[in-house]
């Protein structure tokens, strides 16, 4: 398929945008990345996602697909040759979707709360909430991976993509707050998994550099402070 037939509308710092790009890399599908600028929305974005007006959007031919994990499922079903991203077993597939929803509903909001929390106690409470969530994910990793490197087994799967897309921001959170979140004592499986995930060929070129992401986080913090 020609590269121009597959486009991703996104922004490099977004964990949600990482998801379809990792999925496309796993499937060896070439794509064109169209960068959206901070604070503005292109005509193509507004036309492609008129409901939410958000990135990412996958454009396949002339068909837009929205919402990051829906896009990942679309990619898996459209380019159905191996390797598969979603588990083949119905129960394993349901489990992966459950924990992916948990990551978006619980873990990511906890990370955001750490950035916006005001005062030492509020920040400590937000960090503890995130740590508690990561401990639950450690247990999920042990059960889902069944002794293999990834949540998905021997290769990156749906839940790996869902959670792994946040690792860049997790590392920045650690750096800003001088705290270790993926602790080898509390979450040894996740700590090892994170290193393997980030080094994977499908991931390493789309995972944002920590220093660059940290600078972007500072810009966001200034914008938030200016808007108060």
**Chain segment 21-67, per-residue pLDDT in tens:** 999 999 999 999 999 998 899 999 999 999 999 999 999 999 999 99
Q: Which domain holds residue 108?
A: 90-218
Q: Looking at 78, 104, 129, which one is the last position of a domain?
A: 78
Cα separation of the two ends of the chain: 48
Same-domain check for residues 135 and 180: yes
pLDDT in tens, 112-159: 999 889 899 999 999 999 999 999 999 999 999 999 999 999 999 999
Q: What is the CATH number of the domain that holds 26?
A: 3.40.30.10
- 3-state DSSP call for residue 162? helix
Measure the CA–CA gap between 169 and 208, rounded to whole angstroms.
Answer: 9
Same-domain check for residues 102 and 181: yes
Same-domain check for residues 72 and 108: no
Measure the CA–CA gap between 168 and 87, rounded to whole angstroms.
Answer: 25
Same-domain check for residues 97 and 201: yes
Residues in the chain: 228
Cβ-based neighbour number of residue 85 at 10 Å: 23
Task: Please check whether residue 159 is in contact with residue 152, taking contact to mean a CB–CB distance below 8 angstroms.
Answer: yes
Domain count, the chain: 2
Q: Looking at 78, 106, 121, which one is the last position of a domain?
A: 78
pLDDT in tens, 160-175: 999 999 999 999 999 9
* Mean pLDDT within 93-121: 94
pLDDT in tens, 198-211: 999 999 999 999 99
pLDDT at site 220: 87
Mean pLDDT of the chain: 94
- Does the pLDDT value for residue 4 go beyond 80? no
Using only C-alpha atoms, the chain has a radius of gyration, in whole angstroms, of 18
Same-domain check for residues 57 and 95: no
Same-domain check for residues 100 and 71: no
- Does the pLDDT value for residue 228 go beyond 80? no
pLDDT at site 1: 52
Least confident of 96-100, 135-139, 220-224: 220-224
Q: Looking at 46, 78, 110, which one is the last position of a domain?
A: 78
């Amino acid at each position: 398929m020609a590269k121009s037939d597959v486009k991703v509308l996104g922004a490099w710092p977004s964990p949600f945008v990482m998801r379809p790009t990792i999925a496309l890399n796993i499937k060896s599908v070439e794509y064109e990345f169209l960068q959206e600028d901070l604070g503005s929305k292109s005509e193509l974005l507004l036309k492609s996602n008129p409901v939410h007006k958000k990135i990412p959007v996958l454009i396949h031919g002339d068909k837009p697909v929205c919402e990051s994990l829906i896009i990942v499922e679309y990619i898996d079903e459209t380019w159905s040759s191996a390797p598969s991203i979603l588990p083949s077993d119905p129960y394993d597939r349901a489990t992966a979707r459950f924990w992916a929803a948990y990551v978006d509903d619980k873990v990511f909001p906890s990370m955001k709360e750490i950035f916006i929390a005001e005062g030492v106690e509020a920040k400590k409470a937000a960090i503890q909430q995130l740590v508690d969530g990561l401990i639950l994910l450690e247990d999920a990793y042990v059960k889902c991976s069944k002794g293999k490197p990834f949540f998905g087994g021997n290769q990156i799967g749906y839940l790996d993509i869902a959670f792994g897309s946040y690792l860049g921001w997790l590392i920045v959170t650690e750096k800003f707050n001088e705290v270790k979140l993926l602790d080898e004592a509390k979450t040894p499986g996740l700590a090892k998994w994170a290193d393997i995930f980030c080094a994977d060929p499908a991931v390493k070129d789309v995972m944002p550099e920590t220093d660059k992401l940290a600078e972007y986080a500072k810009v966001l913090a200034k914008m938030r402070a200016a808007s108060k």
